[in-house]
A and B are shown apart, each in its own frame.
Chain A
Amino acid sequence: MNSMNPLDIYQRMADEAKSREEAKTEKTRILVGTATCGVAAGALKVRDEFVKGIEKKGLDAEVIEVGCMGHCYAEPMAVIAKPGFPPMCYGKLDDGLVNRLVEDYLAGDDPCYEYALAALERNDVFPTFEDFPRGVHEEKLILGQCGYIDAGDINSFLARDGYSALAKALEDEPLAVLNEVKAANLRGRGGAGFPAGDKWEACLSSSENEKYVICNADEGDPGAFMDRSILESDPHLVIEGMVLCAYAIGAQKGYLYIRAEYPRAVRHVQQAIDQARQMGLLGNAILGTKFNFDLEVFQGSGAFVCGEATALVNSMEGKMGLPESRPPRLAQKGYRGKPTILNNVKTFAYVPLIIRNGADWFKSIGTPDSPGTAVFSLVGKVVNTGLVEVPMGTTLRQLIYEVGDGLPNAKEFKAVQIGGPSGGCLPESALDVPIDFDSLHDAGAIMGSGGLVVMDQDDCMVAVARYFLEFTQHESCGKCTFCRLGTKHMLDILTDITDGKGTMESLTLLEELAEDVRDGSLCNLGRTAPNPVLTTLKYFRDEYRAHIEEGRCPALVCRDLILYYIKPPKCSKLCNVCVGSCPTEAIFTREDGLKEIDQEKCVKCDNCLKACPPEYNAIVKLSPPVLPKEKEGAVK
């Protein structure tokens, strides 16, 4: 036993996992995507329906829960892998469709191509995801296994070369790992793009014996969910990355700081840690070597500022999550005052791939200064929403129009919000900006955590700026005066504008305040809080002017500047849907049978507009809020 090196031990483990996995492929498998978004769309019901159908028919098939494949627009999804057929992916499943698939495909031999999204392997009968524009642009590195492997079974990961990078690294000096990461120019995916290798090196050079590795999974950005998806779908990839980091810098203990709002991610990671420990991939004497490293989950309690490294460490120590001035950097003095490496989920996920395939491979993807890929959660007014991974350097236009398939309902593009509350809103003219850390920064936005929200003509940019300010103002920890009071003052000004009480002078003040908050705050929460305001002022000043000078919200969003109106010629008279839908009984039937809205009672809840049957489409929003004069006699 002593003569065995880590590679031998690993090989035996991987071989066993492979034969187990292969045995599974002999029978039909149904992989149901049950990440949080899938579950929200009804994936658990789909799973149960498959299980029921299989039992009823007495079929030899297994239902396996997997994570998220990224095609959120088609949730709930399932892949059916039946021996003799290419694995096929089906989307938008419901009871009826599941029953049809059980009947025709599982029990019969008809793959129901009319309901299939794509095949997963090249074949002569049906296109694969790679054949669609989205697949052409996408290059999945860290999302590669998400949605295809069973996150609850380590063998599923081992069978696909999981932990092989660790085994390879343990054969060599720790310095080799660091050198490879440095050579790959891996930049931190938390948003700022700081070179991970430099951070690690600073930690390695410390003379302290006690060191920590922490994974930042406190994804608090509204509109971002990639970290959650990775942890739910492929937790071992992140764990392997952390173990490699620990080996490189000589740490014995690590933590995954995961938001408590992500219970599924917490559960999957905990399960993965337990299994890795059982297999000797975590804990004492990893893969038979002298290297010891163990992991624990720490549940964050939902403070946005804890995404900030120093604040995160403070919260782990049982204090309020307040950021501190740096230096000393965490790499020198972090958790418990010891050298600490804190990286984002995605950053750690790249590490095993870099060690396995080499720095040159990594650098061959993306741009020279930002190698690798970028992961985005593509949401908002876009047809194919979901989780996407594209090489750095892809333009925003390609991402929105080709990967995302453009905007739905033939609406006009207005802006794309990138990087969450720290990012900015970019207009149409900026769509050809290539996505990488530096180009986006020059355009006024940042990569941030990778939330990408597409907005169309129905979105008010002033309201959006106000929304983000409200968020940062609420999440400001209050340590710096500018952040605490400056954002409050900015929010008040923006609220006035959306209420129709703004002045052009206040716009100047808003700009000045924005610069002061940016310059006068300690951490990045405050420093980037003005970004949404500054970018909207830069690119969408007309909208601010319309609110202030004309009392009009061009996008018909700001509620004090709009009113709901029933167009008499379009109202059917006989239909009462709007009356029933109104929660405040503001809609009444006039003597001539037409419906009318009592503007005093109306709370502008949008119910009537949604309720009015499309064939009448009689309800409109008007801005500025002035009722049109009805022609005498026309109402009769």
Chain B
Amino acid sequence: MYSLQLLEGEREQILASVQEVISKSSKNREDLIPVLQKVQAKLGYLPALAMEKISEGLNIPAADVYGLATFYNQFRLNPPGKHQVKVCLGTACYMVGGDITLESFERRMKIKEGETSADRLYSLERVACVGCCTLAPVVVVNEEVEGKVTPTRVDGIMLTFEESDKEKVSEPEMQKGEEH
């Protein structure tokens, strides 16, 4: 299975988040999906460690927790990238080239759908339908829905990402310079 290494300090963050969610739960089986949703909301994904801790905390076999996390489309086992792209492949989007859009992103990000790039800069997902069919083809870029995305627009979106990263990189460097 495709998985990325934990970052520095991430382990502690995972443990603390799971602990916080579980302490507020009634520890019923019925709480499992809401707990997974809350943990994912905090961490952005469900790392293996979090699932282990949830299994212990709710006293539910780890296989069941993993089973649920993989059964439902909402849960992701890979960390979200700094720039998250979800390509809608609902009927209306598919018909006007949603799959071509997805492929363009795959080519530009150099990852497959469902993956996160090793530097955690990009993540790419396909979604079944975001319910904005009249704007097809639709792409959700960092939680913002963008309509009528052509392959050319894909290049534009990627360029925006690259530009914003350049700015972010140069800012702290300037600050450092001032401190010295």
Name A's B-contacting residues (CB within 8 A): 36-37, 39-41, 72-73, 75, 219-225, 228-229, 260-262, 298-299, 301-304, 315-321, 377, 379-381, 385-386, 417, 420, 451, 453, 455, 459, 464, 467-468, 471, 475, 477, 581, 583-584, 603, 605-607, 610-611
Q: Could you say which of B14-22, B25-33, B164-172 contacts chain A?
A: B25-33
Residues in A with CB closer than 8 Å to B94 are: 222, 467
Q: Judging by beta carbons under 8 Å apart, are A455 and B131 in contact?
A: no
Q: Which of A298, A455, A607 contacts B95 (CB 8 A)?
A: A455
Min CB–CB distance B62 → chain A (angstroms): 15
| Residue pair A303, B152 in contact (C-beta under 8 Å) | no
How many contacts between A and B, using CB within 8 angstroms? 153
B104 sits at the interface (CB 8 A): yes
Query: Among residues 86 to 111 in chain B, which have CB atoms less than 8 Å away from a CB atom of chain A?
Result: 89-95, 97, 100, 103-104, 107-108
Please encode chain B, from 125 to 137, with 1 for each CB lying within 8 Å of some chain A CB and 0 for all others: 0011111111110
A318 touches B28 (CB 8 A): yes
Contacts of B55 on A, CB cut-off 8 Å? none
Q: Specify the chain B residue showing the minimal Cβ separation from A260.
A: B74
Question: Could you list 9 examples of A-B contacts with CB < 8 Å?
Answer: A40-B135, A41-B135, A220-B128, A229-B131, A261-B130, A302-B128, A318-B30, A386-B134, A605-B107
B9 in contact (CB, < 8 A): no
Cα–Cα distance between A439 and B4 once the two chains are bound (Å): 53
With contact pairs A318-B31, A379-B133, A606-B97 given, residues A223 and B127 touching in the complex (Cβ less than 8 Å): no
CB distance from A449 to the nearest CB of B (A): 11
Is residue B44 within 8 Å, beta carbon to beta carbon, of the partner chain? no
Q: Describe B's contact surface by its main secondary structure.
A: helix
Bound complex: CA A37 to CA B133 (Å): 8
Contact residues in A for B28 (Cβ distance below 8 Å): 318
Which residues of chain B are near A380, meaning CB under 8 Å?
A: 91-92, 95, 133
Query: Mask for B30-46, Cβ within 8 A of A = 1, else 0?
Result: 11111011000000000
Q: Is residue B68 contacting chain A, with contact meaning CB distance below 8 A?
A: yes
Q: Does B131 lie within 8 Å of A581, measured CB to CB?
A: no
Tell whether, in the assembled complex, residue B100 and residue A606 are in contact, meaning their CB atoms are under 8 Å apart: yes
Whether B133 lies near A223 (C-beta < 8 A) is yes
Residues of chain B contacted by A260 (CB below 8 angstroms): 37, 74
* CB-contact partner of A605 in B104, B132, B145, under 8 A: B104
Q: Which residues of A contact B107 (CB under 8 A)?
A: 583-584, 603, 605
Give residues of chain B (54-72) contacting chain A, Cβ–Cβ below 8 Å.
67-68, 71-72
Q: Residues on B close to A: CB < 8 A?
A: 28-34, 36-37, 67-68, 71-75, 89-95, 97, 100, 103-104, 107-108, 127-136, 138, 145-147, 150-152, 155
B72 nearest in chain A by CB position: A301
**Cross-interface CB contact of B29 among A318, A379, A471, cutoff 8 Å:** A318
Min CB–CB distance B136 → chain A (angstroms): 7
Roughly how many angstroms separate A320 CA and B61 CA in the complex, as a whole number? 14
In angstroms, Cα B138 to Cα A381, docked, is 15
CA distance A475 to B129 in the complex (A): 13
CA distance A176 to B129 in the complex (A): 40
Residues of A with C-beta under 8 A to B145: 36, 39-40
- Residue contact A459 to B95, C-beta cutoff 8 Å: yes
User: With A301-B33, A301-B72, A606-B100 given, can you name 16 additional A-B contacts, CB distance below 8 Å?
Assistant: A222-B90, A223-B91, A223-B129, A223-B133, A299-B34, A302-B74, A318-B68, A320-B71, A321-B71, A379-B134, A380-B95, A386-B134, A453-B91, A453-B133, A459-B95, A464-B95
